Structure 1
Amino acid sequence: DVRVFEFFDYITLDDGELPIELLAQHVCSGEDPASGTFKRTLLLGNGGVVYKNNSTKPDYKQTEVGTPDYSDLRLDEYISVIEIANPMHSLWSDGRWNKLTMAHGCYWKKCAFCDVSLDYIKLYDPNAAKVLVDRMETLIAQTGETGFHFVDEAAPPALMKALALEILKRKLTLTWWANVRFEKNFTQDLCYLLKASGCIAVSGGLEVASDRLLALIDKGVTVEQVARVTRNFTKANIMVHSYLMYGFPTQTVQETVDSLEMVRQLFQEGVVQSGFWHQFALTAHSPVGLNPAYYGITPILRDITFANNDVDFTDQTGIDHSQFSFGLKKSLFNFMHGLGFELPLQDWFEFKIPKTKIKSNYIVTCLLTDTYFSVQPSAKIVWLGVMPLVREQSKTRKGKSWQTLQLTFHHKSDSFQVSVEKDKGEWLLNVLPSLSTSRNKLRNYGELKADFETRFDNFEMFWYSKPIQKLKDFGLLSV
C-alpha cells in the first residue's frame, strides 16, 4: 500500500544490521534508488511499491553484530508505563532492560502457528556464552543498568546453562529473563543454577493446554511436562509467565473448557504466576498457512494491501471462538490474583458451556508422579556454596568406634550440618573446591565417580546418601 510511504521512506524486513547499513550508505551517497544496492527493503519506485533485495552480501552472524551502543541516548529521561494487572507485563514495563539475543532464530522451529519458513525463525545461529557475557559487561559499563531481557524466540537450555556458568564465574551481580520452551531439560538443578546467576523470570508457551492440540501444533511438550517444568522454575523462585492460545484449528468447545481447567489448576498449585490468552491468528508463512487443508481450515484470500501477514479463514468446526475471549481473560485476571479457584467454570461465561472432563487433581497428580532423574556421566557438577567448618568426631556403636567429620555449612540466611565418615569426608573436602563456578573447567559426574572409586566402592550409594542429598538442597547441582 503506497499510503504507508507518506510516513516512511523505507521499510526493511527481518534482520536489520545489513539492510540498515546498506540503506545508510545509499542515503549518504545520494544515488538514485533505482541503481542502489539494498537488502530486503521496500521503497517507492516506478509509481508504486518496489521490493529490492539485490545485495549479494550475507547477513551478519551473531558473533559479528557487536554490542548495542546507547551512549547518545538520555536513558534516564524515558518514562515507564507499567501494566499492573499482569505480573510479567509489569516486569517488562517497569524501568528499562538492556536487550540482547542468545541465538538468532529458533532451535525448535516446528510449531504449526509460527512463521518457521521465514529466515528470522528457521536460520538458527547461537552466540557463545563468553561473547554474551562480554556484551553484558559492556552494556553495564555503558548504561549503568544491570537488567537484561533476552528477546529470543526460545532461548536454548544448553546456552542458558553456559550463560549462567559464565556469569557466576565472573562473579557478576545482575538480573535477566528470557523466553523459553517448557522442555524437560529444565531440571530442578538447572533452574537453581539459572536463579543463582540472576534469572528472575521466564515466559513460555503452554498455548492450548490440550495434549491432542499440542501434538497437532508439534509443540514438543505435554501439559504434564509443562506442569513439572514450571514447578522447577517456581521452586527456584523464578517467575513463570505462560502464553495461552484458544481457537486453534479443529479445537472444540470441550477442549477450550478443558484448557481453562488446566490453567486454573496450574495457577491454583502456584506453578504459573502470570499468563495471557490470545486467539489463534493464521499467518501466511506458518505450517498452518502453508498447508491449511491438513489443519481443516480454508483461508479467505484477499488482495494484499498493507501486508500479507494475518489471513482470515474458516474452520471446519464452525465454532465462533471469539465468544470465549471475555470469559477466558476475566478468569485469568482473577487466577493471577489468587481468586476464583473455587468457582465453577460456567461462572466465567454468559452462555452455556459443557462441564470439564479434566479431573480436579490432574495437575497435582502430574507433580506427584515425577519421573526419576538419573545423572548423565557428562553432567557438570557445581557447588554454589562455601567451604565448611570441620570438626572431627568419634562415634561408637555396639562396641565399634569410628571417626566422622561434622561439616558445618553457612548459607545465605542460615547454616546446616552434615556428618560423613572421615575418609569420605576428606575426599569430599578435597573435591568441593574443584566444583566452584570460578574454575575454568568444571568436573563432570563421570569424572567424580571415577575419582571416588579409586578409593571407595559404589559412588551411587554415596551420591544418593542423606548427607549429599542435603548438600544438593543447598547448592550441589548436577547440570
Structure 2
Amino acid sequence: MNVITIIPPLVQLNAPYPSGAYLTSFFKKEGHDAQWADLSIELFYEIFSRSGLEKLFSLSEKTALSMADKAEKNGDDNTAFNIRRYISQKENWIEWIDFITAVLSGGGAREKEHQFLYSPFAPRGQRMENFLEQLAQDGREPSVDDVRFLCSYALADLADYITAVFDKEFSLIRYAEALTVDERTFAEVEKGLDSPILEHFYKTVLERWGTTVIGGLDPAIFSKTLICISIPFAGTFIPALYTARFLKSQYGQKFFICIGGGFVNTELRELRDASLGKYIDAISYDRGYGSYKALFDNTVLESVETAAESMIANPLYKLRIFKNGKVIEPVWQDEKLEKYETEITAQIIPDYSDIDFSRYLRMCDDKNAMHRIWTDGSWIKAYLAHGCYWHRCAFCDTQLDYVCAYRPVEVRNLYEGLLKTAREKNVYGIHFVDEAMPPVALKKFALENARHGNPLYFWGNIRFEKAFTKDLAAFLSYCGLGGVSAGLEVAAESGLENINKGTDISSIVSACAALKEAGVLVHAYMIFGFWYDTTQTIIDSMETLRQFYSAGLLDSCFWHKFVLTKNSTVYTEWKEGKQKKLQPIELKSDKKGGLFARNNIHFKGENQYDKFQLPLENSLNCWMHGDGLEKKVQKWFDFPVPPPTVGRDFIEKKIEEYEEKNRKRGAGLNDKTAQNLWWLGGTPVLCGLSNSSASEYRWLYLMEEQSVPSKLIDIDILLALRPEVTEEVRVAALNTITASPSVISNLKKLLGRGLVLLDF
C-alpha cells in the first residue's frame, strides 16, 4: 500500500517535525511503500522567495496603503510610516529575500553580507532597526557576524507586515492558533479555511506537490493509498483541514485520509462532529502504531469505500471513523495491539530519508545561548523513551498515552540509526523530544557516542532530580550532551509537593549546579497561577528563581500560566473529592455542535493572577541577560505585592550543601562501586624527572589544571577508563583496580579531578 504522511504548516523553521519520520519508519517496517512531506517548509519558501514576495506585495499593496492612510488620519504616524516603508522598499525586499533565506540556511555569499549590513539600499523594518539600535546602545558597531541576527529579524519584519495587512492569523511558526484553542464549534473553525495565506500561497504548494508526488503514483493503486496528516499543534489544525479538503476535491474518495498528532490526542479526543467527514475518513489517536496496524490487519483496503464500510461494522483500536454522516467510535483497549505497540515503539528509528535538511533555517533571535539552541541548528529529532518515567505531576496530562505510557527504546539500535542519518544528511545535532530523558538511557546513548568518537552533539528534556550528580553531568558532557531543559515549575518546597513533582529544591539545585559546572546549558520551565497559588507563593517562587540566576545555575526560562486540563491528575483528584481548593467551571455549549477543543477547563479564580504575567516576563528577560539581579523582586511590579518570605541566601545554602556532599564522594569508592569509575581528565603529563621524588603528573579537567605525585598514578589504568575505550580494555583495567586496595586508595585522591564515580 502507498502511505503518505504530511506535516502541514506552520511548525518550526529549523527542523522537520519528527512525527513524519516515526510514522514513515513504522509503515516501512510493516511492508508498505511509505514517504512523507514537510509542507510547512514548502509554504515558507512559497511566501519568502522572490516570486512569493512579488505576489504578496501585488495582493496587499492597495490594502496596505489604505491602512496607512487610516492610521495617519487617526494620529498614528509611526504605524503609517512603517506600513508605507514596506511598500516603498518592496523592490529591495524582493531583491534581497533569497539572500536572506540563504544566509539562514547556511548558504549565501559572505561578501554580500557586508552590503546587506551597511548599504542604505538594503531593506529595513522595525525589528531590524531595533536590533541595530541596541548594538549602538551597547557601544559597538555592527559587523558581518551580526548578519544572521539581522536576517532573522528581517523575516520577522516581513511576518509582521503579512499579519498586519494581509492575513491576521499568520505567524512564522503557528497559523490561526487562536481559532482552535478556545471554546468554538467546529462550524466556526471551518470559517478560517478560506484565509488569504492558505488560498493564495498554500494552495499553490498543494497543487505543485500533488502534481509531483501524487501524479507520480500509479493511478491503478490510488484506492490503496493512505494519507496521514499529522497535527502537532493547534496552529496546524486549520492548514491540516485545508490539506484534507484539497485532497478530497482533487482526488475524490481515492484516498483514505486520517489525522492524528499531539493536538488531536489532547484536544480532539471527544470530537464527534459528523461534518468532519467532509474532509477526513478517520482520526487516529495516540502513537498511531496500534490503530494503523488494526486498519491494515482488518481491512485489505482494496478500496477506500470497502475499508470504511468494514470499519462501520467492526470498530477499530483507537480509530474514530467518519462515514456517510455517521461517527463510529474507536475501541480504546486491545491487549494484543497494546503489546504490539510496546514492541514496535522500542524498535523504531525515525526515517528522515525524504528530508533535505539544507532547506531549513538556523534562526538567531536572541543572544541567550540556551534560547538560541532551539532554533539555531537543524536538529535531528528523536526520543529515548515514549512517555514520562515519572508521569505523576498533578498538572500534567497523566491520563494520556503520551505521558503515562512510558516505553523505553533500544538505545544502541537508535544510536546507530541516528548516526547513519547524521552522516547522510550532514547534520550532527540530536534534539531528544522526550517528556523526560531517562538518566539510564541517556547514559547508554552517551557511552555509545563516546565509543563512536563523539560525532553527535545532543540535548533534550530531563527531570531535575538527584540522579544528575556532579559526576554524571561531567560524564554526559564529555560524551556530547550540550543542553537540557526541565520543568522547575515552582521554586518552593511546598509548591513542589502540591504539584507532586517528585523532587525537591535541594535536588534541583544539585542537578543545575552539576550540569552548569560541566558546561551544559540549562533551561527551566516555570508556571504561575496554580489552583492553590497566592500572591505570596508567586513572589516566593520568583525570588527563588532570581537566586538561581544570581548563582549562575540557569541560562534561560519561560514563564507559563497554569492551564487546567481534563486529563490531568489534579482534575481526576478533584472528581474524587481530594482537591478542595480547585473549583472547575464545567463549560456547556448551547451552540449546535458543542465545544470543539475540550481538554482545557476553566476554574474559579484562574484570571486573578493575569496581571503578574508582564512583570514576571520582564524580570526574567533581564535576569537571563545578567541584568537586574540585585533588584528586589517586589520592585518589578507596578501594584503592591508583599516581600518574599524566602531568605536572600536560600539557594546559596543549598549550593553549600551540594558542595559538601561532593567533598565526601571518595567514601563511596570500593571494590564493588569501582565498576562505575570513568576517567574524563586529559592525558597526564609527567613534569620533572621520572626517577625524582618531586616529579608529578599534571592534566586539565573542566578547564582547570590538576596535579598529583607521579607515584600515585598508573597512566595505563586511567586511560583505560575513558568512555571511548572498548569494553574489553575497560574490563581488564577494572579487574586490576578491584584486585588491589592500594590502587583504590590512590584513585580516591583523583575523584573530582578527572576521575568520576557514577551511581549506575
Partner of 2:31 in structure 1?
none
Equivalent residue letter for 2:283: I
Q: Classify 1:53/1:141 alpha carbon distance in 2 versus 1 (closer, same or farther; 3 Å).
A: farther
Task: Tell me the CA shift for residue 100 of structure 1.
Answer: 1.0
The residue number in structure 2 matching 1:400 is: none
The residue number in structure 2 matching 1:308 is 598
- TM-superposed CA distance for 1:70, in Å, is 2.0
Q: 1:237 to 1:40 in 2, by over 3 A?
A: same
Query: Where does residue 578 of structure 2 map in the other structure?
Result: 294
What amino acid does structure 2 have at the position aligned with 1:363?
I
- Structure 1 gap segments, 5+ residues each: 396-402
User: After superposition, where does 1:365-404 map in structure 2 within 5 Å?
Assistant: 365-370=653-658, 371-373=660-662, 374=665, 375=668, 377-378=672-673, 380-385=676-681, 387-390=683-686, 393=690
Are residue 135 (structure 1) and residue 420 (structure 2) matched? no
Q: Distance in 1 between matches of 2:295 and 2:622?
A: 48
8 A Cα contact 1:202 1:241, kept in partner: yes
- Contact 2:277 2:323 survives alignment (8 Å): no
**Bigger shift: 13-22 or 279-288?**
13-22
Q: What's 1:79 paired with?
A: 361
In the TM superposition, residue 307 of structure 1 has moved relative to its aligned partner by 3.2
Task: For residues 68-114 of structure 1, give each alpha carbon's deviation from its aligned partner in whole angstroms, at most 9, with x where no partner exists.
Answer: 22222333223355542764443112232111110111111111111
* Residues 370, 556 of structure 2: 8 Å contact kept: yes
| Greater fraction of residues in strand | 1
Aligned 8 A contact 2:361 2:378 in 1: no
Equivalent residue number for residue 429 of structure 1 = 715
Give the equivalent residue in structure 2 for 1:51. 329
Q: CA 1:446/1:109 → structure 2, altered by over 3 Å: closer, same or farther?
A: farther
Q: Structure 1: how far apart are the matches of 2:475 and 2:344?
A: 25
1:168 aligns with 2:450: yes
**1:13 and 2:270 aligned:** no
| Aligned-residue RMSD, C-alpha | 3.0
Query: Which residue number in structure 2 is paired with residue 325 of structure 1?
Result: 613
Quickly say closer, same or farther: Cα 1:219–1:416, change in 2 above 3 A. Answer: closer
Deviates more, 1:382-391 or 1:123-132: 382-391
Which residue is 1:362 aligned to? 650
Separation of aligned partners in 2, 1:28 and 1:141: 39
Are the structure 2 counterparts of residues 213 and 411 from structure 1 closer, same or farther at C-alpha, using a change threshold of 3 Å? Answer: closer
Q: What is the aligned partner in structure 2 of residue 199 from structure 1?
A: 481
Q: In the alignment, residue 583 of structure 2 is paired with which amino acid?
A: T
- For residues 382-461 of structure 1, what are the structure 2 equivalents within 5 Å? 382-385=678-681, 387-390=683-686, 393=690, 406-409=696-699, 417-421=707-711, 424-425=712-713, 428-437=714-723, 438-440=725-727, 442=730, 450-453=738-741, 456=742, 459-460=744-745
1:250 aligns with one of 532, 536, 544: 532
Closer/same/farther in 2, CA of residues 448 and 337 from structure 1, 3 Å limit:
farther
Shift in CA distance, 89/420, structure 1 to aligned 2, threshold 3 Å: closer
Matched residue of 1:220: which SS?
A: coil
Shift of 1:14: 1.3
Q: Deviations for 1:26-58, whole angstroms, at most 9, x for unmatched residues?
A: 766422414136442234235254432387533
Instruction: For residue 319 of structure 1, report the CA deviation from its aligned partner.
Output: 7.4
Query: Secondary structure, in 3 states, of the residue corresponding to 1:355?
Result: coil
> What do residues 257-289 of structure 1 show as CA deviations (whole Å, max 9, x unaligned)?
000001111111111010001111111121101
Q: Aligned equivalents of 2:294 and 2:473: distance in 1? A: 42
Instruction: State the partner residue of 1:235.
Output: 517
Say if 1:93 and 1:429 are closer, same or farther in 2 by CA, change over 3 A: closer
Q: What fraction of aligned residue pairs are identical, expressed as a percent? A: 29
Q: How many residues align?
A: 457
Residue 117 (structure 1) aligned with residue 399 (structure 2): yes
- Are the equivalent residues in 1 in contact too, given 2:277–2:324 (CA < 8 A)? no
Matches of 2:582 and 2:384 in 1, distance apart?
35
Kept in 1, the 8 Å contact 2:276–2:322? The answer is: no
TM-score of the two chains, using structure 1 as the length reference: 0.86
Contact 2:471 2:757 in 1 (8 A): yes
1:202 maps to amino acid: V
TM-score using structure 2 length: 0.56
What letter matches 2:501 in structure 1? K
Deviations 1:320-369 (Å, cap 9, x if unpaired)?
Answer: 12221111111111111111112222232221100111111111111112
Q: Is the 8 A contact 1:206 1:223 kept in 2?
A: no
CA contact (8 A) 2:720 2:733 kept: no
Counting helix residues as a fraction of each chain, which structure ranks higher? 2
CA distance in 2, matches of 1:89, 1:34: 50
2:491 maps to 1:209: yes
Matched, 1:350 2:657: no
Cα distance change of structure 1 residues 239 and 452 upon mapping to structure 2, 3 Å threshold: same
